[in-house]
Amino acid sequence: MCECLRRLCPRLERLWSSLGKEKPKDESEEVRVERPVIRRPSVAPPPPERSPESAIYTGIWSFESRHKDELSFQEGDVLDVISRDGDWWIARKIDQNGRVIGTGRVPHNYLARAESLQMQPWFYGTMSRFEAQNHLMDPENQEAAFLVRQSERDTVGYVLSVKSSGQIRHFRIFSSDGSFHVEPNQRFDSLIDLVDYYCKNSLNNIASLGTPCKRKKPNIEDINHLLDGWVLPKHEFTIGDQLGAGCFSQVFRGTWKNHINVAIKILKNDSMDNKEFQGEVEVLKRLHHRHLISLFAVCTDSPPYYIITELMAKGNLLKFLRGPEGQNQDIASLIDMATQVADGMSYLEEQKSIHRDLAARNVLVGEDYICKVADFGLARIIKEPFYISEDKKIPYKWSAPEAISHGRFSNKSDIWSFGVLLYEILTYGGIPYPAFNNQEVYEKVTKGYRMEAPAKCPSFLYKIMLKCWQENPEDRPDFKAVKVLLESSSYELE
């Protein structure tokens, strides 16, 4: 624990002592020399056990527990985090005397590391360009409001995002030889020094940085950490408004035990046999990624079966793109959404799994415009390069030629579908091959026809689409490569 931590959080002084650290001596104290006194050895109580992962955090939001396994805390409380597995960490709450007064699970995004950078009001940790834009555009933030974030893109690093003239501008913070800079002629020893400087001086056409961006309380509606198993009784769930419907199911807004929001997917009785249902559940259970929908539980006590997942407030991507919010997105935002989907599909690819129905209708949009790939009803875990299916109920306009003609599904056929998804995104929810029916699409595509670039589509994006639509599956890129191509676009930074 460093000296800056004590200055930032005086309440940790006693905790410092209780964990076996000696206070530094006051240099003004008189040094006395005394004869040694023989005393009986005493056994001091051992300090609380701390795991290698243990670290001190403070609460940035108050949290009221909803279950006996969760731990309540207030804004400013000190917590010793002893396990950081998933989104719900195990922590011990520490009082002013350094004593442990409670242990339980806490939402990780309600905490901040008790160190100088993480405790700064303007530092937001890892955040996408899209999330930064959504935070800063909140009406509570005035002109020149700003934040510093760690880009989700591996090669970027820190980014300074600023609200300027009703838009959000993003400045990459370069780091080399232990210094930081936005402008080559102004270098600083730390991010704190950099921010302090631009709070007093101009940056590009911005007179100076204003106040730190107002924080939004994160969404913590997750129940996985509260469950002993995957199967729950139906009576624990309340069904609300319908959110959507498909060939095999209907999706409703719902609540678990009347206070945690969830999405309830109700399968039609004749849509899927028990074996198919178990296949979908097995896929969902083992996949965990920021850009894939999370499975909470299933209800199988009686037909129709329920699949319980996290609730994505803005609905599916197709509906979002066609609505007023989607219509207002600029090219950079559209690229960001495509990148999120590619990120989720890259993980799916690493897990030797395929989707078989990738389309805008099967991507969900949540708060801060987080996009997650959903609807794994057609997904299969694969060990071979491709999966062969005789099912003719396939989405023709999104399917690769080999999937239509021979039922050959693979990660490469998913890549073909991603190219069509890019077309949907760039046309704000447009219909692929609008002038052709399913049979005409297959005939023309197998003869070499490819859709033209959408209006105002950047050339590099259309080149990615054409790569996805290569006739030979082996000539198509994988999702990892597509993700890199999207991330290298010039739209991320000023």
Q: Label residue 183 exposed, middle or buried (CB < 10 Å: 0-12, 13-18, 19+).
A: exposed
Cα distances from 455 to residues 81, 424, 425, 452, 466, in angstroms, run 51, 12, 12, 9, 16
Are the CB atoms for 132 and 150 separated by under 8 Å?
A: no
Long-range (24+ apart) CB contacts under 8 A made by 429-434 are: 429/318, 429/319, 429/321, 429/322, 429/326, 429/360, 430/454, 431/397, 432/397, 432/398, 433/397
Q: Label residue 166 exposed, middle or buried (CB < 10 Å: 0-12, 13-18, 19+).
A: exposed
Specify the residue for token string 């527990």: 65
Q: Among candidates 174, 194, 181, 260, which has minimal Cα distance to 225?
A: 260
Q: Is 392 annotated as a binding residue?
A: no
How many angstroms separate the CA atoms of 72 and 103, rounded?
9
How many helices (H) and strands (E) are present in the chain, helices listed first?
13, 21
Active site residue 85: no
**What is the chain's Cα-based Rg?**
27
Q: Determine which one of 357, 368, 375, 414 is catalytic.
A: 357
Sign of the torsion formed by the C-alpha atoms of 395, 401, 404 and 406: negative
How many angstroms separate the CA atoms of 403 and 420, rounded?
14
Binding residue ranges for ATP: 265
**Which positions are catalytic?**
357
Binding residue ranges: 265
